[in-house]
């Protein structure tokens, strides 16, 4: 047995190209067989886990899936905003905690999510460093965002420019890092969280007036005794300094301010039912249970299971045929070696054992490689889903 | 008197195929310690006779007894076992395994039998005697034909067999290297009381043998077209 293993391994290691070709073939076949099921299973698990953490989401009427994706995964989706007044009305029902979420900005490509302060408590998020944002222009970074950007508490960064050529769109604002969230293994790790008013400031709804008279000449178009005309492009970013914060104001009804939607954490199952009914009541809003959405989504996926099973069966048959073919071709390639072994008096069972061992080594390497491929696919899926 | 190392009695073998022939041996013995050279033109049956002695072919009639084993009474597995454990085989085609180094090829019989420590020393000793000690890490494709032949000779002698069956063991060698091989085979026969049975065209080998015979003397019917 030892001789068999030794000779089989010597052949595998001394003919690396053949071994690699067969092993990769086996790996790809096995990975194709397994990956689909693993990915569906993991996607179901991760989507369900996040959906279960938020009993109810509310927003303006439209696509239920877009609403859930925007509020749970901070994906940019084309949904109409609801108003802060709607959020306050839902909260005054006294059936649970209603957390406004406004996900309209990005910074370095990462979503900048404006949330009510209760968000951190309800999602059981903790700060690994620093604290949560409580003032305008403050931000707390998700774990991955902090690691990727290299930003630490005390650093500043700016939001991404939303429109490059339209000067009427508010310019980016400077955010100051006041904390880094502990690792959660969820989509929260890849986001930046700010106070809800900071988002309105970034959108230009809230604003302050800088003293134009104090601006440097290169930012001034014309200056007279009675007026100062500022260059339209003079301010490429806005920094709400402590001095300016007291001057921040808006020219609108606070209840009319936009939010992407709201996360609703009812006090009980009964409150959940009541809140969902009330919010859906007059058609101005919609309230959706994320768990039900995920189930609905996977019901559709699993309806395709017979097709998936058929494809899997075909793949399995093809894989087995390929492995047998590889073994037969390998045996032909090794005919001179087997002839030599026959001359020496090697038992026929030993020669057959060599072919089997060779096939087993290829299968083993193929399975290891397939494991890596499936793990890689699962890792990519996790990254994509943010878990 | 000691039991013959090789003993053929009433052996009849018909070689089928193009240029077929019939080999008939009434009686043939080779003693331990004896070097016997079998000569004859190509296709006259030398290799077939070696195959009969190695148990790779089975005669239609008669008895073949080699290294105390009655090959006619053994099944295929039994004959293979005798070949592996008691015989040293040196084939004309050399039968080296392409992906193994020269040293691993020499050690192959020991590897197949699960022995390791002593054969290593023996392999190096044989390689030194055959002047291939510096080539042991190379694979066959990086050896000349003569070097491969010496690797095959070293492998045939590795386990100190009772009977060595060698088919043209000097066929690819120059005179000096032929002399090395002949000396080594002679020494093996003397020191291990082993019988060395050679099929050869090489007159130096024939001269070094204790006796020689033409395979056609054993053939009862003329050799076919290709003989």
Tell me the per-residue pLDDT of B197-218, one tens digit each, with 9 for 90 and over: 999 988 888 999 999 999 888 7
Whole-prediction pTM value? 0.63
**Backbone phi and psi for residue A106, each to the nearest 5 degrees, phi listed first:** -135, 160
Q: Which of B50, B88, B99 should be substituted to probe chain A, the one whose Cβ sees the most A Cβ atoms within 10 Å? A: B99
A261's tokens: 């939607």
pLDDT of A318 reads 85
Q: Does A16 touch chain B (CB under 8 A)?
A: no
Helices B102-113/A2-14 angle, 10° precision? 150
- A74: three-class secondary structure by DSSP: coil
**Set of chain B residues whose Cβ sits within 8 Å of the Cβ of A336:** 95, 98
User: Would you state the pLDDT for residue B226?
Assistant: 36
Residue A129 forms contact with B (CB below 8 Å): no
What was the pLDDT predicted at A211?
59
Q: Check if B102 contacts A (Cβ < 8 Å).
A: no
Residue A92 near residue A253, CB atoms below 8 Å: no
- Tokens (6 digits) for A235: 């301010």
Question: Which member of A15, A342, A344 has the closest CB to residue B108?
Answer: A344
Helices (H), chain A: 2-14, 16-53, 64-73, 84-92, 118-122, 143-149, 196-202, 242-245, 269-281, 290-303, 305-333, 335-344, 348-385
| Gyration radius from chain B CA atoms | 17
- CB-based contact B111 A344, cutoff 8 Å: no
pLDDT for the residue numbered B129? 94
* pLDDT confidence of residue B223: 40
**What's the ipTM?**
0.86
Residues of chain A with pLDDT below 70 are 162-170, 206-215, 228, 230-247, 249-250, 385-387
CB B111 to CB A6 under 8 A?
yes
Cα separation, A209 vs A217, whole angstroms:
18
pLDDT band at B222 (very low <50, low <70, confident <90, very high): very low
Contact B97 A347 (CB under 8 A): no
| Distance in angstroms (rounded) separating the CA atoms of residues B165 and B151 | 15
* pLDDT tens, residue by residue, B22-81: 788 888 999 999 999 999 888 778 888 999 999 999 998 899 999 999 998 999 999 999
- Those residues with Cβ within 8 angstroms of residue B157's Cβ, 6 or more apart along the chain or in another chain: B88, B126, B164, B184, B185, B188
| pLDDT for B227 beyond 50 | no
Distance, in Å, from the CA atom of B26 to the CA atom of B8, rounded to the nearest integer, reads 7
Question: Taking residues B82-105, what's their average pLDDT?
Answer: 92
What is the structure's pLDDT at A333? 84
Q: Does the structure show a pLDDT above 60 at B224?
A: no
Contact A58, A82 (CB under 8 A): yes
pLDDT at B175 over 90: no
Out of A88-97, A166-175, B12-21, B141-150, least confident range: A166-175
Residues B182-210 have a mean pLDDT of 92
Q: Does B74 touch chain A (CB under 8 A)?
A: no
Q: Is A114 helix (H, G, I), strand (E, B) or coil?
A: strand
In this prediction, residue A37 carries a pLDDT of 79
Task: Measure the CA–CA gap between A42 and A382, rounded to whole angstroms.
Answer: 8
| pLDDT confidence of residue B150 | 95
pLDDT of residue A365: 93
pLDDT number for residue B45: 82
For B106, name the nearest residue in chain A, comparing CA atoms only.
A344
Q: What is the pLDDT of residue A255?
A: 82
- Interface size A-B, in CB pairs within 8 Å, comes to 64
Question: How long is chain A?
Answer: 387
Residues A19, A30 contacting (CB under 8 angstroms): no
At residue B225, the pLDDT reads 39
Under the phi-then-psi rule, with left for phi > 0, alpha for psi from -120 to 50, and beta for the rest, what region is B31? beta
């Amino acid at each position: 047995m030892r001789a068999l293993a030794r000779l089989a391994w010597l052949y595998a290691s001394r003919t690396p190209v053949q071994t690699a070709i067969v092993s990769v073939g086996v790996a790809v076949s096995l990975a194709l067989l397994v990956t689909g099921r693993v990915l569906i299973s993991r996607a179901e698990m991760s989507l369900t886990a996040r959906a279960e953490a938020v009993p109810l989401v509310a927003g303006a009427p439209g696509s239920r899936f877009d609403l859930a994706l925007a509020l749970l995964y901070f994906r940019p989706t084309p949904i109409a905003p609801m108003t802060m007044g709607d959020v306050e009305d839902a909260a005054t029902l006294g059936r649970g905690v209603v957390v406004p979420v406004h996900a309209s900005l990005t910074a370095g490509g990462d979503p900048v999510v404006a949330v009510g302060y209760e968000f951190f408590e309800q999602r059981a998020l903790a700060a690994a460093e620093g604290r949560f944002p409580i003032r305008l222009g403050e931000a707390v970074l998700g774990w991955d965002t902090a690691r990727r950007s290299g930003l630490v508490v005390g650093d500043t960064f700016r939001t991404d420019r939303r429109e490059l050529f339209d000067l009427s769109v508010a310019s980016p604002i400077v955010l100051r890092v006041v904390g880094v969230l502990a690792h959660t293994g969820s989509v929260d790790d890849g986001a930046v969280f700010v106070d809800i008013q900071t988002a309105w400031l970034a959108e230009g709804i809230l604003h302050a007036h800088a003293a134009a008279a104090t601006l440097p000449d290169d930012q001034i178009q014309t200056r007279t005794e009675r007026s100062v005309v500022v260059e339209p492009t003079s301010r490429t970013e806005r920094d709400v300094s402590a001095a300016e914060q007291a001057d921040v104001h808006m020219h609108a009804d606070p209840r009319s301010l936009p939010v992407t939607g709201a996360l609703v954490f009812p006090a009980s199952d009964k409150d959940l039912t009541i809140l969902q009914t009330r919010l859906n009541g007059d058609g101005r809003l919609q309230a959706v249970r994320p768990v039900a959405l995920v189930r609905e989504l996977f019901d559709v996926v699993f309806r395709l299971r017979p097709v998936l099973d058929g494809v899997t069966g075909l793949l399995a048959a093809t894989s087995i045929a390929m492995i047998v073919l590889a073994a037969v071709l390998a045996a032909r390639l090794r005919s001179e070696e087997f002839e030599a072994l026959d001359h020496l008096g090697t038992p026929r069972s030993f020669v057959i054992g060599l072919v089997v061992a060779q096939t087993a080594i290829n299968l083993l390497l193929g399975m290891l490689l397939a494991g890596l491929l499936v793990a890689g696919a699962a890792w990519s899926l996790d990254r994509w889903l943010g878990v | 008197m000691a039991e013959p190392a090789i003993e053929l009695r009433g052996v009849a073998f018909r070689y089928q195929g193009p240029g077929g022939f019939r080999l008939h041996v009434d009686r043939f013995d080779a003693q331990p310690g004896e070097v016997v050279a079998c000569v004859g033109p190509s296709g006259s049956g030398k290799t077939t006779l070696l195959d009969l002695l190695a148990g790779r072919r089975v005669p239609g009639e008669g008895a073949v007894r080699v290294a105390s084993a009655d090959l006619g009474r053994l099944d295929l597995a039994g004959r293979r076992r005798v070949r592996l454990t008691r015989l040293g085989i040196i084939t004309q085609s050399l039968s080296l395994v392409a992906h193994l180094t020269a040293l691993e090829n020499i050690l192959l019989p020991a590897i197949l039998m699960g022995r390791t420590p002593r054969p290593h020393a023996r392999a190096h000793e044989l390689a030194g005697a055959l002047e291939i000690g510096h080539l042991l890490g190379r694979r066959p494709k990086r050896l000349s034909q003569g070097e491969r032949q010496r690797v095959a000779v070293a492998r045939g002698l590795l386990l100190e067999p009772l009977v060595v069956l060698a088919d043209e063991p000097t066929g690819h060698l120059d005179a000096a290297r032929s002399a090395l091989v002949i000396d080594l085979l002679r020494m093996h026969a003397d020191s291990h009381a082993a019988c060395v049975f050679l099929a050869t065209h090489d007159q130096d080998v024939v001269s070094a043998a204790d006796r020689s015979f033409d395979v056609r003397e054993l053939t009862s019917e003329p050799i076919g077209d290709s003989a």
